[in-house]
Amino acid sequence: MSLTIKPILPRFGAELSGVDLTGALDEATRAAIIQAQNTYGVTVWRNTGLDDESHIAFSHIFGHVELAPRLPDGVYRHAHRELFDASNLDARGEIIQDELLRLHKRGDRLWHTDSSFMELRSAQSLLLCHEAPPAGGQTWFADTRSAYEDLPQAMKERIEPLQATHSLWWSRRRAGFPLTEEEIDARPHARHPLVHVHKGSGRKALYVAAHARDIVGMSREEGRALLAELIDFSTQPQYVFNISYRPGDLVIWDNLCSMHRGGDYDDTHHRRDMRRTTIREAPAPAVPDDPFTDLFRASGRR
């Protein structure tokens, strides 16, 4: 088996093929897949034949697989804690009718990086399509390494020392979820630098997007204007592409060198069943932990 790589943009995104992801992979193949991921930031595999178990098993080649938060009602659509539910379906597999829940999920249509609201950042996200809507529902990706490299030197120097605070509920509020600034203030935030070195490639990248709420040491107005400016810069057409899905397609993105957002589709009438594993940036903890459940518990609600 030999890995075939077809770049999507010159510096960002590639379609990979030639490897069966459903079985065990030898060391050289694993290394080649990881190398392609580090180079291109987003890789796309068509018609993989993966199911829940083989999706999770394959994910382990990238590192520690995170656990989705435990839900207060304890009712899940999946049997596996490693799967984050990125669908518009409830625990019975029916299209979500609850308007609040739908608004909560609509935050994913803003440019974001998965889990930047966590202190322990997520690196790779592996999204497997089980059911796609007949129209729309694609994912858009933006290249935060190339965008950083193309920034004017004065802007690079300005943002180099800065840190942002990130909150899941901030992006939900921006998508229309009814929360006040004060309610968000009272919930946990994570703090991350605006610029970091992407370890897999040695290139610098921006780390911004929809969960980023404020910039430490700046007024809210000034910080939010700067965040918006950086997101706008990074999502210009030369840094962006989108992927449409068929069942079995897998897209892997590196949250530490990209942003993404869900494309619109009719989520009140059409099913979109997508399941995601996520790899923590840090190595596996010595003692098993469950930081997503801890965060949601600390927030007092979903």
Binding site for Fe ion (CB under 5 A): 114
Nearer to Fe ion, 201 or 258 (CB): 258
Sheet architecture: strand order including 240-243: 240-243, 139-143, 258-262
Neighbours of 76 (CB within 10 A): 14
Max CA distance (Å), the chain = 55
> How far apart are CB 84 and Fe ion at their closest, in Å?
9
Q: Which of 38, 8, 1 is nearest to 254 (CA)?
A: 38
Nearer to Fe ion, 76 or 140 (CB): 140
Q: What is the rounded CA–CA span in Å between residue 137 and residue 245?
A: 8
Nearer to Fe ion, 114 or 249 (CB): 114
Nearer to Fe ion, 114 or 214 (CB): 114
Q: Tokens 């810069």 identify what position? A: 233
Q: What is the rounded CA–CA span in Å between residue 262 and residue 53?
A: 25
Nearer to Fe ion, 114 or 267 (CB): 114
Amino acid at 25: L
> How far apart are CB 221 and Fe ion at their closest, in Å?
27
- DSSP helix/strand/coil, 288: coil
Which residue in the shown chain puts its C-beta closest to Fe ion?
114
Q: Which residues pair with 141 in a beta bridge?
A: 241, 260
> How far apart are CB 111 and Fe ion at their closest, in Å?
10
> How far apart are CB 262 and Fe ion at their closest, in Å?
7
> How far apart are CB 260 and Fe ion at their closest, in Å?
6
